[in-house]
Amino acid sequence: MEYVILTNNGSIIGTDLQDFAVIHVPGGIEAIYEAISDHLQNGYALVSSPLPANVPLIRSPIRSVILEKNSRKYDAQGLITLEKAKARTAIVGVHDTGRTRFDLECINKDQLLLAIRQLKEFDLCSRLEYSIEQDGVTPS
C-alpha cells in the first residue's frame, strides 16, 4: 500500500514516518481542504477523516490527513466526507490565535501518530488473515 499524508502542521515536517510520504501544504484550512480534494480526484482514497471529533479541534486551522493510492480515479465517498468537513468547519468557524498554535499542532500530531499506529495494526492483521486463508488454515 502506498500512503500519503497531507498536512499543514509544521511540527510533522522532518518526522520519520516510515512508509508514509509527507506532503506539506502551506496555508490554512482552505489550502489543506483543496489539496485533499485534488488528491481524491486523482487516484487517492481517504483513510483518515478530515473532520476532528470535537468542536474545539474543528476550529483548529491545523489538519493532517492520510490518503491511500487507489486503483480508481475518484474517491466519491471521500469527496462526500470532505464536503461534510468543509460544511461543519464553515458552521463552527476557524479560530487561529498564535497563542494556541503550538498546542493544536501537538494534538494534531498525536492524533496522526495514533491513526498511523492503528493503520499499521490493521494492515498487519489483514496480511496475517490473508496468509492464513492462503495456507488453507482455518482460524479457531
Taking only the tens place, the pLDDT of each residue in 35-47 is 999 999 999 999 9
At 7-37, the pLDDT tens digits run 999 999 877 787 899 999 999 999 999 999 9
Instruction: Residue 32: name the closest of 82, 80, 73, 81 by CA.
Output: 82
* Cα–Cα distance measured from residue 5 to residue 1, given in angstroms and rounded to the nearest whole number: 13
Prediction pTM value: 0.84
